[in-house]
Amino acid sequence: MSRLAVRNPATGALITELPADDAVEVAAKSRLARAAQPAWARRPESERREYIVRFRAGIVDELEALAALMTRETGKPISMSRNELNGFLGRIDFFLAHTQAVTAVQTVFSDSGMQEQIEHLPLGVVANISAWNYPWFVGGNVFIPALLTGNAVLYKPSEFAAMTGLAMARLLHAAGVPGDVFAPLIGGGDVGAALLDQAIDGLFFTGSHATGVRIAQALGPRLVKLQLELGGKDATYVCEDADVPKAAGSLADGAMYNTGQSCCAVERIYVHASIHDAFVKAFVAAVSAFKVGDPMLESTCIGPLTRAAQLDVLDAQVADALARGATLLAGGHRLPGPGNWYQPTVFSNASHTMALMREETFGPLIGIQKVRGDEEAVALMNDSRYGLTAGVFTPDEARARQLLAQVSTGSVYWNCCDRVSPRLPWSGRGDSGLGLTLSTYGIQAFTRPKAWHLRQAW
Active site residues: 229, 263
Question: Where does residue 215 fall: left (phi above 0), alpha (psi -120 to 50 degrees), or beta otherwise?
Answer: alpha
232 near ligand NAD, judged by CB under 6 A: yes
Residue 218 CA to residue 212 CA, distance in Å, equals 10
Nearer to ligand NAD, 437 or 447 (CB): 437
Nearer to ligand NAD, 190 or 320 (CB): 190
Minimal distance in Å, beta carbon 217 to ligand NAD? 10
Minimal distance in Å, beta carbon 386 to ligand NAD? 9
Minimal distance in Å, beta carbon 427 to ligand NAD? 8
Minimal distance in Å, beta carbon 88 to ligand NAD? 14
Which residue in the set 140, 391, 433, 435 belongs to the binding site for ligand NAD (CB under 6 A)?
Answer: 433
The b/e string for 66-101 (b: 16+ C-beta within 10 A; e otherwise) is bbbbbbbbbbbbbebbbebbebbeebbebbbebbee
Nearer to ligand NAD, 26 or 282 (CB): 26
Residue 166 CA to residue 169 CA, distance in Å, equals 5
Furthest CA-CA distance within the chain: 82
Minimal distance in Å, beta carbon 111 to ligand NAD? 44
Nearer to ligand NAD, 200 or 271 (CB): 200
Nearer to ligand NAD, 134 or 347 (CB): 134
Helix extents (H) in 370-451: 374-382, 397-404, 441-444
Minimal distance in Å, beta carbon 276 to ligand NAD? 28
Minimal distance in Å, beta carbon 329 to ligand NAD? 25
Which residue in the set 40, 204, 362, 393 belongs to the binding site for ligand NAD (CB under 6 A)?
Answer: 362
Residue 302 DSSP symbol: B
Nearer to ligand NAD, 215 or 280 (CB): 215
Nearer to ligand NAD, 4 or 335 (CB): 4
Which residue in the set 102, 138, 146, 400 belongs to the binding site for ligand NAD (CB under 6 A)?
Answer: 138
Helix H or strand E segment including 430: strand 429-430
Phi, psi angle pair for 343, to nearest 5°: -65, 145
Nearest to 238, CA basis, from 381, 433, 443 = 381
First to last CA, the chain: 64
Site mask, ligand NAD, residues 84-123, x = CB under 6 A? Answer: ----------------------------------------
Stretch that binds ligand NAD, among 52-60, 172-180, 225-233, 240-248 (CB under 6 A): 225-233
418 near ligand NAD, judged by CB under 6 A: no
Nearer to ligand NAD, 122 or 232 (CB): 232
Residue 444 CA to residue 121 CA, distance in Å, equals 10
Residues 368, 371, 375, 376, CA torsion sign = negative
Strand partners, 114: 455
Residue 153 CA to residue 159 CA, distance in Å, equals 18
Site mask, ligand NAD, residues 147-186, x = CB under 6 A? Answer: ---------x-xx---------------------------
- How crowded is residue 401: how many other Cβ atoms within 10 Å of its Cβ? 12
193 near ligand NAD, judged by CB under 6 A: yes
Q: Is 121 helix (H, G, I), strand (E, B) or coil?
A: strand
> Which residues 197-216 are close enough to bind ligand NAD by CB under 6 A?
206-208, 211, 214-215
Residues 383, 389, 391, 397, CA torsion sign = positive
Which residue in the set 84, 360, 418, 431 belongs to the binding site for ligand NAD (CB under 6 A)?
Answer: 360
Phi, psi angle pair for 56, to nearest 5°: -60, -45
230 near ligand NAD, judged by CB under 6 A: yes
Binding footprint of ligand NAD, residue count (CB under 6 A): 32
Residue 456 CA to residue 458 CA, distance in Å, equals 7
By CB under 6 A, name the binding residues for ligand NAD. 129-134, 138, 156, 158-159, 188-189, 192-193, 196, 206-208, 211, 214-215, 229-232, 263, 360, 362, 388, 426, 428, 433
